[in-house]
Chains A and B, each alone.
Chain A
């Protein structure tokens, strides 16, 4: 499904160019569940943004479903994000002053899904992410950090993407809610065959994945099967 070859990302902001990702290569098969680990600032989010077709690499190539993403136009990338990818941002990025249900159904608006179906699918996604029904019509700025996180996850699930990218999706959750979310990811992976890549700092969570990739200073330092705690 994913094939990245020698990807680099250089930031030019603030005087000296800074290479956040320094030649990363790996491939991901359909239906894999991968955890990416590494210390803060090691380039995990940067890599995820490239995998999510949100940002383009400075050099190297990225094939998604055998299509070279680096040659696609802006609008073609938008189509890929809309149809194939569900992204949970580390900083969530909900629309301010907008209800939970609208935040979650927004991707479907751009997919031309009819009004009624949007609501049904948004509610399903919210149930899957474990958010209580009473919050569905709350505004996004009236939620706790954990609730926001679950809304962000629900929004990533709502378009039934084949690739789900989650940047520390359990960072703000207590262990019990974290468990619910992880179970959701596992179910999506096992039952629906979705490919999942998530970033985490916790070994405990990483163990839920099939494979763990560790990044340090923009390079992969290890890439191995996990010890499967499930």
Chain B
């Protein structure tokens, strides 16, 4: 039997039973498509979570005023309590080892106005080291200088969203313009690079001013709303966190650590918590994907096996009119391969298509992995070929009469 004839037989066999072929392929398409799409979404979500955690800064320990959130203890609202001072921050910088930088922050939400526009935004009073500690870069102009801090100058650096809100989307020549915050006029000296709005807290919607200026004109006191401590590397960050806690407890004359009037938050802890959350999440998605692959596989198996009776008779007939065992085997193998490959390719396209659609809708940057394609394709190809080919191979061993009589 010629190859051309085998291919033609295969094509005719598949097209003479379109419903059967279609349903078999549908099983494969759904199985493969869902595995690829789900793993792409899972990986994308994991990436976006770890990216947004990393964008906070590196090896960061955040110290905030307020009572320790412990059982039974009173819990002060974040940023409400006035317990952290500039000397506290100075003490951390000079007395705790393993610290690479300390950032003082005085933050509040305020109405900001430019000529004819206004917006309610987050005013972060800070200092030059903020840039490196919080992974912020300057797009245009410059950031707060040490001089600005010591002299308490009225300069402001805008986040790109705030710039858009006040001066129009993508507005140029904003550096040098004036804005007003709580009645005082500030000169815009820089614009930061967008970090991408992640989740509910849009880190691009912000105005940076020197913390000394913020203390004098906005909060009206000498307290800090946050101290960011950057550890030299991740291995010492727990030690730094412990030392900072001990130091502040003694400076605030508190003996019972559960009564501390401040909180510390270690970025390593956040990452650990988040990665345990995301790995649970990814595991869940993998389970869903695995189930759909299983369901798809059972679908393929079911279609292949329910047609065994009819196909066995067909095999008996073909043998009765002169087909050899290898003619039968080849035809059914090619049939199974064709079904799984056509279905597989459509399934891959569907999965990748869903991933692309989700990415382009901006819901999530879905990441299609080659291994998920290989796994999904491999599993359904094996199922399709085994259950398409094996029964045929067995039937081809029957004599024609037994095959024709098969029930």
| A→B interface (CB under 8 Å) | 49, 52, 54-56, 74-75, 78-79, 81-83, 87, 89, 93-98, 102, 106-107, 109-112, 155, 159
Contacts and interface: CB of A to CB of B under 8 A. Distances in A.
Contact of B319 (A49, A78, A94, A96): A78
A118 to B, nearest CB: 10
29 contacts: A49-B401, A54-B320, A56-B399, A74-B325, A74-B399, A75-B324, A75-B326, A81-B319, A81-B320, A81-B322, A81-B400, A83-B322, A93-B316, A93-B317, A93-B320, A93-B404, A94-B317, A95-B314, A96-B16, A96-B310, A102-B12, A106-B318, A106-B321, A109-B9, A111-B322, A112-B2, A112-B5, A155-B321, A159-B322
A75 B404 contact: no
B319 to A, nearest CB: 6
Interface size class of B (residues with CB under 8 A): 20 to 34
Question: Considering the complex of A and B, which 3 residue pairs feature the smallest CB-CB distances, nearest first?
Answer: A82-B322, A55-B401, A107-B321
A208 B314 CA distance: 33
Instruction: Please classify the interface of chain B as helix (H, G, I), strand (E, B), loop, or mixed, using the class held by over half of its residues.
Output: helix
A94 B5 CA distance: 19
A31 B81 CA distance: 115
A78 B325 CA distance: 9
Interface of B: 1-2, 5, 9, 12, 16-17, 310, 313-314, 316-327, 397, 399-402, 404
A119 to B, nearest CB: 13
Contacts of A110: 1, 318, 321-324, 327
Contacts of A93: 313, 316-317, 320, 404
Nearest to B401: A55
Contacts of B2: 112
B399 A97 contact: no
A98 B319 CA distance: 17
A87 B317 CA distance: 11
B325 A75 contact: yes
A106 B1 CA distance: 11
Contacts of A56: 399
A112 B1 contact: yes
B400 A55 contact: yes
Contact of A78 (B12, B313, B322): B322
